[in-house]
Structure 1
Amino acid sequence: MTSLVDPALGCVGQPRLLAGLDALPRLDRADHLVVHGPLPQYTSDELVELAEGIDLRGRGGAGFPFARKLKAVIRSARMKEGRTAVVVNGTEGEPSCLKDAAVLLRSPHLMLDGALLAAGAIGAEEVAVGVTRDDVEQSLRAAVAERGPVGSRVRVVRLPERFVTGEGTSLVNGLDGGPSVPNGQKVRTSERGLGGLPTLLSNTETYAQLAVAARLGAQGYRSAGLPDEPGTTLLTISGETVVEVPLGTSLAYVLELCGSSPGQGVLVGGYHGKWLTAADARTALLSRQSLSSYKAVLGAGAVLPLPEDTCPAGEVARVTRWMADETAGQCGPCVRGLPSLADAVEELVGGGGRAALEAVEVRMRGVLRRGACSHPDGTSAFVASALAVFPDEMRDHALGSGCGRRVLGALPLPADENPERLVVDWTLCRGHGLCVDLLPEVVRLDPDGYPAQAVMPVPGRLRPKALRAVRRCPALALRIQE
């Protein structure tokens, strides 16, 4: 169980997705229609033309053109008797990103408008929405009920709260009643997705943007943002504040409005994103073109400035360990590779010498392009970017001098409300090693083959595996401690 964050809201210029929320904490159906007006209907060709006219891109990570997804689903449907589905990714498994949760909590009908508009245009019988938060689920179910008969086309599904739940195939697997894990296949959801049907899949903000554009039209939508990147986007600043800004706005300006600064550097795009130096963050604009010059992308819209008074190396180690714990547990690069990478980063931070620096490099290369999804690659890229932007801090820690700063937790991570621990009884342990085979996300062995720690925190989702390790220990040397 993790604590739920209700983000503060802000905007630069005239709000669109966040319109009306300065006066009301949440827009029900009646308030939504007063603020946004009725929703026009579009044919499939008209919707494709609209999406192309505003160059609508997915707001969930990769920034894939929405019109291309639409056309791919339409093409596939013609070959499969016309049946299609629409899927909304409302999971947001990353603690640094809250923008989709903000929309679903405060203005859920905007997302429903976009999803139902798309469903009507492509002839989809069902809209399936995947969520992970209890408050988001309640808000969305209330909004669906307010839709009356139309709402019966929308199915809301509660999925496990973990980082990889939002990966495309993982999301579809969960919505279909299976485990929420990536399947490792390279089949696009536009060809075979929900229930085996051609599926239009995008995240909450993308459908909300589509609903705004449908009302404004292409020309009206293009009145904000850049000529070649029109519109607004939602950002989560420091894991606390969701801000709507026109594309092309200065990153430094947005940070200043939120009471922050580039500090030691800024992580853009979340924990699969890229670090910008403080100097680069002061000149970067929030646009694809500007960020691409720094080899960065907005991704899921998380922007995380690193304050001057926290330790960069320690912050990176915390997140790397959390990312390793978020493995789906089904392929070697995640189950073994990411915990080993986290070990190497922690050893570097603890003064492991040049050998620790080299070990981090080896572990980063060892997981690349080998996973069932992009999680190993994204985690490796996060660490590589930190090494490039904070080289002095990383080297100083490896060589034992460190930076002298505490780790303040500036990079947000979920906290277990009732943490449990796996405890080793050294008087009984014989170093059989079965515990690491059953629970590699938690147990690591020392050079002699014994657990490296006597007390190890167990994430709530790994409790069943921890209990299995306790039961199967031949020496009865393990127990769970609350």
Structure 2
Amino acid sequence: MRGPELELPAVRRLGTARLTAGLNRHRRLDLAAHRRVHPPLPPLDRDGLLALAEAVALRGRGGAGFPFARKARAALAGADRLGVPPVVVVNGAEGEPPSAKDKMLLARAPHLVLDGACLAAAAFGAEEIVIGVTAGSPGEISVPAALAERELPCPARTVCLPERFVSGESGALIRGVNGLPVAPTPLKGRAAHGGTAGVRRRATLLSNTETWAQLAIAARLGPDAYASVGTLAEPGTILLTVNRSGAAPLVVEAPAGTALGPMLDACGLEPGAGVLVSGYHGAWLRPLDAVGAPLSRAGLAALGGALGAGAIVTLPHDTCPLGEIARVTAWLAAESAGQCGPCKRGLPAAAESLALLAAGAAEPGVLDDARRALGAAQGGGACSHPDGTARFVRTALDVFADDLDAHLSGSGCGRPVHGVLPLPRVAGARLEVDWSRCSGHGLCTVLAPDVIRLGPHGYPTSTSVPVAPWQEHAARRTVNQCPALALRLRRTA
């Protein structure tokens, strides 16, 4: 592979390597190295591939965990109904900051992912394979290079998507593939059924990067060997991204059901003040619960958590938990598509309340306001973004209840915010308020109600507010029309 030198995620394994096989010896597996590491794929027809996916209980590894065989059958039924072949889509648009497993696979083992996609495309007679990657990621170079090396059962192409949290949502990805703005679809539809929800109105079989790689591993091993590790209900291995403060994240392959504590210990980490599992749409676990937590969907669900995309972050004792949660919540609010009430009002309101709590400047009722905003956000959004964000915040408020009480008392926890929870360094905008000029006219909240909120005395509740792309027009209009010239829009790098 030729091109600029990009940082590739480091890998580690607990037990036998499957998805990470060969990566201890190779920086990246080109086709020749891939063939030396992995045996040839057995040919599978339509029924054989569906039977294999059911036998190994293959589920999506992007977060929702939907059964692959059921999704494939729906896509095939949709293709038969429409009378045109389906489209196979690899979702590699990993917009989750704490997750790097899909980036690792596309950058270092792209042929394993393509094996799974090509296996399905051949068995199902697909019209096209589309691989969605994040613009500027290593996969933007690695995937086209891998496609050029191998024979394909049908045409294939790579589509680059912006580095945004919502880019990995299935509807947003398909809109991007179709040349539309990369945002969740306002009206729900199933890609497997085709129509406006599918790629070029075709029935579309979409799964994330790890799912396709797992399919290739299962095809080579067969159901029995595949299930020789993992749990009875969730056989095989899983990929986890373990984030380390001050160091690059590790992508770890481990048998499903491995306890979280020993896995952290193998990475040189401790549970700290709390452990976040499944990234910024996931749930926080208390240290004592985290140590014995089985890394499986069922095991984490029993503790009120979720496996999701397998992103894990431990929070050290020396950073302010509330400050960490507040900065991520503000980022999540700005990353929304702004297409529904929970994202336009609920998440920004919750983010602002958390910022006041973290700063120790909260007035009575602010915590209730935050909980109310989060409650309203759940279940009413156009996509899962409000629900996931609410889960992230609500579980944090429970796990870090003692720190929350310290901030509510006005004294605070006394710890600085070290920025342990990873966030991307991307350009954005902030609306800044000069309180020495502000006269409390209130025109700003009339012109930009989704950006500016007023406190009980009629003044903005915050001096610096992150502005999402969909909010910039209203924010700019507010700056231009402020009678006191107390507002300005600042770009950040």
- TM-score, normalised to structure 1, is 0.92
SS in 2 for 1:10: strand
Per the alignment, residue 405 of structure 2 pairs with 395
What one-letter code is carried by the residue in structure 2 that aligns with 1:279?
L
Q: CA deviation at 1:441?
A: 6.3
Per the alignment, residue 208 of structure 1 pairs with 213
Computed over aligned residues only, the root mean square deviation of the Cα atoms, in angstroms, reads 2.5
Give matches, 1:202-351, under 5 Å. Answer: 202-238=207-243, 240-351=249-360
**Distance in 1 between residues matched to 2:129 and 2:443, nearest whole Å:** 44
Structure 1, unaligned runs of 5 or more: none
Q: 1:290 to 1:323 in 2, by over 3 A?
A: same
Q: CA deviation at 1:14?
A: 1.3
User: For each residue in 1:398-417, what CA deviation from the matched residue of structure 2 results, as whole angstroms up to 9, or x when unmatched?
Assistant: 1213222222222111123x
Per the alignment, residue 17 of structure 1 pairs with 19
Report sequence identity in percent.
52
Q: 1:138 to 1:398 in 2, by over 3 A?
A: same
* Equivalent position to 2:140, from 137, 143, 157: 137
User: For each residue in 1:104-124, what CA deviation from the matched residue of structure 2 results, as whole angstroms up to 9, or x when unmatched?
Assistant: 111111111111111111111
**Distance in 2 between residues matched to 1:244 and 1:425, nearest whole Å:** 50
What one-letter code is carried by the residue in structure 1 that aligns with 2:274?
G
Per the alignment, residue 71 of structure 2 pairs with 69
Please state if 1:146 is matched with 2:155.
no
What one-letter code is carried by the residue in structure 1 that aligns with 2:366?
A
Per the alignment, residue 364 of structure 1 pairs with 374
Give matches, 1:55-204, under 5 Å. Answer: 55-134=57-136, 135-147=138-150, 150=152, 153-192=155-194, 193-204=198-209
Structure 2, unaligned runs of 5 or more: 1-5
SS in 2 for 1:190: helix
Q: Is the 8 A contact 2:172 2:183 kept in 1?
A: yes
Q: 1:364 to 1:110 in 2, by over 3 A?
A: same
Moved more, 100-109 or 74-83: 74-83
Equivalent residue pairs, number = 477
SS in 2 for 1:26: coil
**Distance in 1 between residues matched to 2:466 and 2:31, nearest whole Å:** 44
Per the alignment, residue 376 of structure 1 pairs with 386
User: For each residue in 1:125-146, what CA deviation from the matched residue of structure 2 results, as whole angstroms up to 9, or x when unmatched?
Assistant: 1111111132221111111111
**Distance in 2 between residues matched to 1:275 and 1:465, nearest whole Å:** 35
User: For each residue in 1:427-460, what CA deviation from the matched residue of structure 2 results, as whole angstroms up to 9, or x when unmatched?
Assistant: 8767666655676665444445554455555568
Q: 1:188 to 1:384 in 2, by over 3 A?
A: same
**Distance in 1 between residues matched to 2:441 and 2:128, nearest whole Å:** 51
Q: 1:78 to 1:419 in 2, by over 3 A?
A: closer
**Distance in 1 between residues matched to 2:206 and 2:241, nearest whole Å:** 22
Q: 1:275 to 1:480 in 2, by over 3 A?
A: closer
Q: CA deviation at 1:476?
A: 6.2
Q: CA deviation at 1:380?
A: 1.1
Moved more, 462-471 or 401-410: 462-471
Q: CA deviation at 1:48?
A: 0.6
Q: Is the 8 A contact 1:70 1:200 kept in 2?
A: yes
SS in 2 for 1:291: helix
Q: 1:166 to 1:433 in 2, by over 3 A?
A: farther
SS in 1 for 2:392: helix
Q: CA deviation at 1:283?
A: 1.2
- TM-score, normalised to structure 2, is 0.90
